Amino acid sequence: MTIAVLIVAAGKGTRAGGGLAKQWRPLAGKTVIDHTIDAFLAQGLKTICVVRDPDCEVAAEVLGSYPDLILADGGLDRAGSVRNGLIALQKHGINRVLIHDAARPCVSASVIQAVIEALDHGPAAAPGLPVTDALWIGQDGAVIGTQDRSALFAAQTPQAFHFDAILAAHLAAQGDAADDVEVARQAELSVQITPGDSNNIKITRPEDFTRAETILRTSMTTLPDIRLGNGYDVHRFGPGDHVTLCGVRVPHDRSLQGHSDADVGMHAVTDALYGAMAEGDIGRHFPPSDPQWKGADSAIFLRHAVELARSKGFQIGNIDCTLVCEYPKVGPHAEAMRDAMAAIMTLDRDRISIKATTSERLGFTGRGEGIAALATATLVRA
């Protein structure tokens, strides 16, 4: 399942005034769009397309610091920009797409996760904020009526879609739709409303910069919710010619025995993540009594723990894993193990540590009867 993020950043920002378009202007220590892009990267969403004005030098400079962005050219209106972005994403094998305004830099983890989750149940989802103010109908400066607000929502982004459905809808769309939900509705897609966030403002007018700055600085200074978890696992040796440690096949004159692929290091890391969330352990989520996990690739377990953490709004701070054995020697494989774990967890490798120790020939590990692994994980929620 590949989820892409499409950030539209090709507007002129006329209402925000002041020359340079709003998305390239400074805000709380970086530019507006840096906050926007970083909010998605922090959720492990790495396939990001930015639609921008190809002639804007500031845009090129700001976006140049992200090596893996997919770039597309702006259109005449927002819908045109989205269309260009979707077309640019077409060849990347995308299943789902989150379409977001660059001008909403305060988007939270929970708003992002809610739309992602909703796509398991339907083709489209978007955050909406119930309207709480009374609504009037005005004419010539006077109230001429009122409007029932009970069924009204203020629309936010990211608006999320099954990729093929929204691409087809955009290619067939008429007129200059205000947002992608309008395009989806034209194509008769049902759109689920997920919880919006009053802090997820769209910078529109000059005074919105001050509000966004306050929101971002507050979330930066509020003490984050930090969780620590530990994991410990042991597997015994049996006959065989290799072991699988932290996702890497290591030749050895014995194999580790177990119900799954017996990747003792990956199990310890997975349990550390579950532990940090107080979500039990692998056995609770993947009972060993269930035959479908026999011989299973342990990446399934690790991925589940990572996705559960992200669905709860946590970022993974780091993991640290120690393998305890006399043989095989782990050192020559440690970097490959970091890469394998980084790929499974969609996490930077500098947040992943894999190390090993012998136990001085003492105990069961010292006698070469099996391998033990210990792991620590930190989770952080802003």
How buried is residue 354: exposed, middle or buried, by Cβ count under 10 Å (0-12/13-18/19+)? buried
Question: Which two tokens mark 271?
Answer: 């349990």
Closest of 103, 95, 82, 100 to residue 158, by C-alpha: 100
Buried b (16+ CB within 10 A) or exposed e, 78-91: bbbbbbbbbebbee
Q: Could you give the C-alpha distances from 210 to 205, 206, 219, 232, 233, in angstroms and in order?
A: 10, 8, 14, 48, 50
Residue 10 binds: one of Mg ion, ligand CTP, none (C-beta under 5 to 8 A by kind): ligand CTP
Q: Which is nearer to ligand CTP, 59 or 262 (CB)?
A: 59
Q: Per-residue x/- marks for Mg ion, 1-40, CB under 5 A?
A: ----------x-----------------------------
Query: Distance between alpha carbon 370 and the CA centroid of its chain, in Å?
Result: 36
Residue 265 binds: one of ligand CTP, Mg ion, none (C-beta under 5 to 8 A by kind): none
Residue nearest to Mg ion (CB): 11
Q: How many residues does the chain have?
A: 382
Q: Residue 373 in 3-state DSSP?
A: strand
Shortest spacing between CB 15 and Mg ion, in angstroms: 7
Residue nearest to ligand CTP (CB): 11
- Judged by CB under 6 A, the chain residues 50 through 109 that form the site for ligand CTP are 51, 74-75, 77-78, 81, 101-103
Shortest spacing between CB 73 and Mg ion, in angstroms: 17
164 contributes a contact to ligand CTP by CB under 6 A: no
Q: Which is nearer to Mg ion, 14 or 222 (CB)?
A: 14
d(CA 344, CA 145): 57
Question: Which two tokens mark 3?
Answer: 């989820």
5 contributes a contact to ligand CTP by CB under 6 A: no
Q: Could you give the C-alpha distances from 330 to 138, 146, 230, 271, 334, in angstroms and in order?
A: 73, 72, 21, 21, 6
Shortest spacing between CB 209 and ligand CTP, in angstroms: 13
Residue of 83, 202, 333, 338 interacting with ligand CTP (CB under 6 A): 202
Question: Which two tokens mark 379?
Answer: 């989770």
**List of residues contacting ligand CTP (CB under 6 A):** 8-16, 21, 23, 51, 74-75, 77-78, 81, 101-103, 202, 204
**List of residues contacting Mg ion (CB under 5 A):** 11
